[in-house]
Structure 1
Amino acid sequence: MNSEGNRFKTLLEILLVSTRLGFTSFGGPIAHLGYFHEEYVRKRKWMDEKNYADLVALCQFLPGPASSQVGIGIGVMRGGVLGGIVSFIGFSLPSVLALIVFALILQGLNVADLSWIHGLKIVAVAVVAHAILGMAEKLTPDLKRKTIALFALVGTLLWQTAFTQVGVIVLAGILGFLLYREQAGSEDSNFEFPVSKKFAVICLAIFFTLLLILPILRETTSISWIAIFDSFYRSGSLVFGGGHVVLPLLEREFVPTDWISEEAFLAGYGAAQAVPGPLFTFAAYIGAVMNGWQGGLLATFAIFLPAFLLILGALPFWNILRCNPKIKGALMGVNAAVVGILISAFYKPIWTSTILTPLDFAFAAVLFSMLVYWKLPPWVIVVTGALGGFLRTLI
């Protein structure tokens, strides 16, 4: 009974923390990693810098919404499979509900032009800058890893394709293996993932089976729900690079088929920028436009299911690889590359689309100081950012 009580307490804690993040995490996937780093690594110490960086590296390898997969992985490591589910629900539900409401009531509202949205984007600048500084200090302590991070930064900044990140991480892993293979055994990791290999294999089998079977069912039946599920599942399975990359896929799936109009699609995209949480929840808006709130929930389940199956299927094997002395050197290179990738994403699109005037830079410096030096809680930074964005138009 005591054990069950502790498990319930852990799951409740995961739900409360992830829900608060779901209400306050603005700024896209890179910003979400910053919020996660602040909450789970710096504040709560649910994992250390290395475990967090390894998890981020794994999710960069996998297709799907990287930040959501990181959140699921943290939940799994904290509270098992149920912890991953609870973490996902808490982080995603606020934006899912908000976008379903937008679809049902506010489809014609151009929320992207609201002044307070810009203030929230400046919040993301402060949060990501803080995360990058902390990760760089831990993961690039020597010249070799700083150089790997630099090449990752240059590569992902100059060649922005869906597969650039994966290629950079692979090359960084090779460099890390060659440069650090003799030193790789000096640092041990005792972190265990509460997911069995058998369960992981089942998850991977389900992932590939659905990827093959759903298109066949779609062609051999006339059931619209199967067609919708297939479109969202495939979009969630085959996208690398985060939420912004999935938008063209979704547009190709649903606009030419007249399931949703171009105007409604663009209105929903504006709404998606106005809400916190993962951009993949844009699927909830599309589903709700087509089939009401039931369609919104089905679309959300379908587009995030691959992320669940992949992270649960990969975690146990990732743990074995990263604890192997022969692989640790490669991970040292990969972790350094992640820092470079984050800096690249920090510049574009976060910095280039947000810091437009000296006033923006000054406000970002104030928010950064509030977060880093004054140690104010993230929700205070978010509220201040929203108010500052509103007042910015009056100055």
Structure 2
Amino acid sequence: MLSFRSPIAHREAAPPARVRISEKWRDFVVANWHLGFTAFGGPPVHFQIFHTKFVDKLKWIDEQMYQELFALCQGLPGPASTKMLFCINSIHGGFLSGFLAFCIWSLPGAIGMYCLSLGVSKIGETMPSAVYALLSGLNAATVGIIALAAVQLSEKAITDQMSRILVFLGGAVGMLYSALWFFPVLMFVGGVSTVVWDYRWIHNFLKKFKKQRVESQESQEAIDNTTVQDDTTSITSSTARQRRRDVDQDAILPVSAPSTPQISTPPEFTEEKQLLSWRTGILIICAFFTTFIAVMVLRGTLKTPPLPYSVFANLYLAGTIIFGGGPVVIPLLRDYIVGEGWVSSRDFLLGLAIIQAFPGPNFNIAVYLGSLAVRNGNNNFPKEVGALIGFFGMFSPGLILAAGVMGLWSTIRKRRWTISFLRGVNALATGLVYTAVYRLFRTAVLDEEYSGGRELGIDPFWVAVTATSFVGGRWFGMAPFFAILLGGLLGIVWWGIVKA
């Protein structure tokens, strides 16, 4: 039953607009201020932190919206966890809140990586063994936290046999092949697979085939039994009719009844929190690709472009074509930055080791690389220009595309095939988290001889550190921040016992 209230009473009961705005920004600051300082572990752990805070505690979005945003952020290029935080805050408080949340989230790590770039020239070819032990402990604990995040994400992504298969295939195939084009194709195939499964197209085809086979058998039986007596013919006909009734009872399911339950659309996004119209969303996406094409054309046609522009163009390209988040960006940046001769291999590996221990997005390594590239170019541009180029070049493509797609999403998410498609993307993206565990496991241990990293199994102690962070988070509720700090402390203990 609908109830109506007097407008005068409503105005008297409603808090002043200034009070509502102040409460809104207070809630925003309380929810976001610490994430850029405490969110260790990379995108898989970030997703779990966001779920605990924004779904379980604050209830800014519901579980269905979280799963949709997770699949969208994995299916779009750029930093996945950064886009997730931007979308959640934009839905709750508008695009200004989303942009400010992005700044609070990314700037602490970006400033730290910039400071690292200032001091890296003063570091010798090797670092003290205690520093290597500290970094190895941090990396080992990070592997355990990412493994825990993979398990927790799998518990939410697996809803039936098809999603279970896709999670397994995402992890297994991602370990075997890692070309850039492979990840978006893999997630697209996963989305199509769940659409086919949910709409039971294969089931319908098999049932049609079964019905045709039964009818052909009936025809063959009728020809073979023409010389049989009437009573035998009657029995055969009744058997055939009974078989036809069985097939008809097992009729083809209509496309309008997929195997997954009907999912209602949360009203807070489609009605009250609709940020952009679908026309504006398309306009933003088209404007982005126009600028992207212009940057790439200039990149290929200019004979001697300024070094800052070349660095920006390479990082802008990397931020546009990277799917899968931080674990995928590292080898690509090695080709686009180290391969151009702008940064040495030693400095790149040092930044790679440090970024694993930094909070916030792994894409902040672009700030470090941009600053070093401009500084090593022997030009008059200050290092701050390189850091800003790296920051905006890597982050802007993903955020712009996320903003444009959110305008379209309020329209297309009402269609059931969209939910089915994203369910497959979500399952495959969850499987790729296990790929991140595998890749970091192989390069987590650093020492003087192997600055590029060795696998954790080189010493059982590091595997024990990984298990400690996993068990601490799984069974004792240890926060990722403290688990990773504990790993660094255990690394120092190992150095004091074994090395010192």
Give the TM-score band, short-chain normalised.
Answer: 0.7 to 0.9
TM-score normalised by structure 1 residue count: 0.86
* 3-state DSSP of counterpart to 2:359: coil
Query: What CA distance in whole angstroms lies between the structure 2 residues aligned with 1:150 and 1:222?
Result: 46
* 3-state DSSP of counterpart to 1:103: helix
Name the counterpart of 2:366: 283
**How many angstroms does 1:359 deviate by?**
2.8
Name the counterpart of 2:489: 387
Query: What CA distance in whole angstroms lies between the structure 2 residues aligned with 1:252 and 1:177?
Result: 36
Q: Quick check: 1:115–1:389 contact (8 Å CA) kept in 2?
A: yes
Name the counterpart of 2:379: none
Q: Quick check: 1:108–1:264 contact (8 Å CA) kept in 2?
A: no
Letter in 1 for 2:27: T
User: 1:30-54 deviations in whole A, cap 9, x for unaligned?
Assistant: 3433443444444544434433332
User: 1:237-270 deviations in whole A, cap 9, x for unaligned?
Assistant: 1223333544454445445655445554444444
From 18, 22, 28, the equivalent of 1:11 is: 28
From 148, 164, 169, the equivalent of 2:182 is: 164
Letter in 2 for 1:90: I
Query: What CA distance in whole angstroms lies between the structure 2 residues aligned with 1:266 and 1:379?
Result: 23
Query: What CA distance in whole angstroms lies between the structure 1 residues aligned with 2:330 and 2:155?
Result: 34
Query: What CA distance in whole angstroms lies between the structure 2 residues aligned with 1:263 and 1:139?
Result: 39
From 287, 290, 302, the equivalent of 1:209 is: 290
Query: What CA distance in whole angstroms lies between the structure 2 residues aligned with 1:44 and 1:360?
Result: 36
**How many angstroms does 1:99 deviate by?**
1.3
From 145, 148, 151, the equivalent of 1:127 is: 145
The unaligned stretches of length 5 or more in structure 2 are 1-17, 200-257, 375-381, 445-455
Name the counterpart of 1:104: 118
Name the counterpart of 2:387: 296
Count residues in correspondence. 391
Q: Does 1:62 align with 2:76?
A: yes
Name the counterpart of 2:425: 334
Moved more, 134-143 or 204-213: 134-143
**How many angstroms does 1:146 deviate by?**
1.6
Name the counterpart of 2:106: 92
Query: What CA distance in whole angstroms lies between the structure 1 residues aligned with 2:336 and 2:462?
Result: 37
Query: What CA distance in whole angstroms lies between the structure 1 residues aligned with 2:104 and 2:396?
Result: 16
Q: Does 1:77 align with 2:95?
A: no
Q: Does 1:2 align with 2:11?
A: no
CA gap of 1:225–1:344, structure 2 versus 1, over 3 A, is: closer
* 3-state DSSP of counterpart to 2:323: coil
CA gap of 1:267–1:143, structure 2 versus 1, over 3 A, is: closer
* 3-state DSSP of counterpart to 2:94: helix
**How many angstroms does 1:59 deviate by?**
2.0
Letter in 1 for 2:262: S
Q: Does 1:349 align with 2:425?
A: no
CA gap of 1:261–1:144, structure 2 versus 1, over 3 A, is: closer
Query: What CA distance in whole angstroms lies between the structure 2 residues aligned with 1:345 and 1:222?
Result: 36
Letter in 2 for 1:330: F
Q: Does 1:148 align with 2:166?
A: yes
**How many angstroms does 1:394 deviate by?**
3.1
Query: What CA distance in whole angstroms lies between the structure 2 residues aligned with 1:126 and 1:253?
Result: 30
Name the counterpart of 1:186: 262
Q: Quick check: 2:139–2:356 contact (8 Å CA) kept in 1?
A: no
Q: Quick check: 1:367–1:385 contact (8 Å CA) kept in 2?
A: yes
CA gap of 1:250–1:379, structure 2 versus 1, over 3 A, is: closer
**How many angstroms does 1:312 deviate by?**
0.6
User: 1:314-358 deviations in whole A, cap 9, x for unaligned?
Assistant: 123234333312332333333332332223333x11344444243
Q: Quick check: 1:162–1:240 contact (8 Å CA) kept in 2?
A: yes
Name the counterpart of 2:193: 175
Q: Quick check: 2:312–2:390 contact (8 Å CA) kept in 1?
A: yes
Give me the CA root mean square deviation: 3.0
**How many angstroms does 1:108 deviate by?**
4.4
Query: What CA distance in whole angstroms lies between the structure 2 residues aligned with 1:35 and 1:294?
Result: 32
* 3-state DSSP of counterpart to 2:322: coil
Letter in 1 for 2:92: R
Query: What CA distance in whole angstroms lies between the structure 1 residues aligned with 2:426 and 2:338?
Result: 39
Q: Quick check: 1:370–1:376 contact (8 Å CA) kept in 2?
A: yes
The unaligned stretches of length 5 or more in structure 1 are none
